[in-house]
A and B are shown apart, each in its own frame.
Chain A
Amino acid sequence: MLSDRSPLSLRAAAIGGLLFLHLPILLIFLYAFTTEERSFQFPPPGLTTRWFATAWYDRPDIWPPLWLSLRVATIATSIALILGTLVAAAMTRTAFFGRDQISLLILLPIALPGVITGMALRSAFGIMDVPFSVWTIVLGHATFCIVIVYNNAVARLRRLSGGIMEASADLGANAFQTFRHVLLPNMGSALLAGGMLAFALSFDEVIVTIFTAGSGAEAKTLPIWMLDELIRPRQRPVTNVVAIVVFAATFFPILAAYYLTRGGSETAGMGK
Chain B
Amino acid sequence: MTAAVEFSNVSRHFGNVKAVDGVDLTIAEGSFFAMLGPSGSGKTTCLRLISGFEKPTGGAIRIFGEDVSNTPPHLRNVNTVFQDYALFPHMNVRDNVAYGLMVKGMGRSQRRAKADEMLALVKLGAYGDRKPAQLSGGQRQRVALARALVNEPRVLLLDEPLGALDLKLREAMQDELKALQKRLGLTFVFVTHDQHEALSMADSLAVFNEGRIAQIGSPQDIYDRPATRFVADFVGSSNVLPPDLTRALGGPAEWASLRPEATRLAASGPVSGRVTALRYLGSGTRVVIEAQGTEIAALVPAGQPVPAEGTTTAIAFDQGALHLMGAA
**Interface pair B104/A166, CB less than 8 Å apart:** no
Contact indicator B74/A169 (Cβ below 8 Å): yes
Q: Given A164-B88, A182-B88, are A172 and B82 neighbors across the interface (CB < 8 Å)? A: no
Is the Cβ of A170 less than 8 Å from the Cβ of B89?
A: no
Interfacial chain A residues near B73, Cβ < 8 Å: 166, 169-170
- B contacts with A, residue count (CB < 8 A): 26
Contact with B along A165-176 (1 / 0, CB 8 A): 011111111100
- The smallest C-beta distance from A250 to any residue of chain B, in angstroms, reads 30
Which chain B residues border A174 with CB–CB below 8 Å?
74, 103
B33 to chain A, nearest CB (A): 18
Report the Cα distance A174→B74, complex, angstroms. 6
Q: Residues of B contacting A170 with CB < 8 Å?
A: 51, 53, 73-74, 79-80, 82, 148
Query: Once the chains bind, are A177 and B86 in contact (CB under 8 Å)?
Result: no
Q: Which of A161, A172, A186 lies in contact with B86, CB distance below 8 A?
A: A161
Q: What is the CB-to-nearest-CB distance from B264 to chain A, in angstroms, rounded to a whole number? A: 51
Asked if B90 and A167 sit within 8 Å, CB to CB, the answer is no
Q: Is the interface of A mostly helix, strand, loop or mixed?
A: helix
**Chain A residues near B53 (CB, 8 Å)?**
166, 169-170
Contact B80 A167 (CB under 8 A): yes
Residue of B whose beta carbon sits closest to that of A163? B86
Closest Cβ neighbor of B51 among chain A residues: A170
The distance in angstroms between the C-alpha atoms of A169 and B80, with both chains bound, is 10
For residue B74, which residues in chain A have a CB less than 8 angstroms away from its CB?
Answer: 169-174
**A185 in the interface (beta carbon within 8 A):** yes
Q: Is the CB of A181 closer than 8 A to any CB of chain B?
A: yes
Task: Decide if B51 touches A181 in the complex (CB within 8 Å).
Answer: no
Contacts of B104 in A (CB 8 A): 172
Closest approach, in angstroms, between the C-beta of A10 and any C-beta of chain B?
Answer: 38
Residue of B nearest to A185 (CB): B90
Query: CA–CA, A177 to B99, complex, Å?
Result: 11
A window 123-173: CB within 8 A of B: 161, 163-164, 166-173
Contact of B82 among A166, A173, A185 (CB under 8 A): A166
Cβ of B270 under 8 Å from chain A = no
Shortest beta-carbon contacts, A-B, top 5: A163-B86, A171-B100, A167-B86, A173-B103, A169-B73
Name 7 interchain pairs, CB-CB below 8 A, sorted by A.
A161-B84, A170-B79, A170-B82, A171-B99, A172-B104, A181-B99, A186-B90
- Further contacts, 8 of them, CB under 8 A, given A172-B103, A173-B103: A161-B86, A163-B84, A166-B82, A167-B82, A167-B88, A169-B52, A171-B100, A171-B103
